[in-house]
Amino acid sequence: AQSVTQLDSHVSVSEGTPVLLRCNYSSSYSPSLFWYVQHPNKGLQLLLKYTSAATLVKGINGFEAEFKKSETSFHLTKPSAHMSDAAEYFCVVSENAGGTSYGKLTFGQGTILTVHP
């Protein structure tokens, strides 16, 4: 079985300051992990993905995430927030072997990021 927990439902930062969105996961098998961003009434756009290669993953728009197996975490960071980063962010896990969860995506509860001028 797999699950995802996003530790913060809301994060508020000032423009130009760092962003940290936290995500913990559990998985019975070797997982793939993703971060998606969703703007209001829009579909989801992939920011970055971890697929067992480098543990530090760089994505679009200056975002990056580090896979830490010992901590079962995949936190999303950005050095300097921009107003256009305001959106909802989802951490997603997918199991890659066996079980009924194979290939299915499990979503975290989402984190709403607000960026103040």
Q: Which one of the spans 15-23, 63-71, 77-85, 88-96 is the region binding other proteins (CB under 8 A)?
A: 88-96
Considering the rule CB under 8 A, would residue 108 count as an interface residue with other proteins? yes
Three-state SS across 23-52? EEEEECCCEEEEEEEECCCCCEEEEEEECC
In terms of CB distance, is 46 or 56 closer to other proteins? 46
Strand bridging mode 73-78 / 87-95: unpaired
Interface with other proteins in residues 5-44 (CB under 8 A): 32, 34, 36, 41-44
- Which amino acid belongs to residue 45? Q
Near other proteins by CB under 8 A: residue from 7, 8, 77, 107: 107
Single-letter amino acid, residue 88: E
Nearer to other proteins, 17 or 26 (CB): 26
Given the structure tokens 């130009």, which residue do they identify? 16
* Segment contacting other proteins by CB under 8 A, of 19-27, 63-71, 76-84, 105-113: 105-113
Contact 22, 110 (CB under 8 A): no
Q: Report yes or no: 64 and 11 within 8 Å, Cβ to Cβ.
A: no
- Binding mask 52-81 vs other proteins (x if CB under 8 A, - otherwise)? x-----------------------------
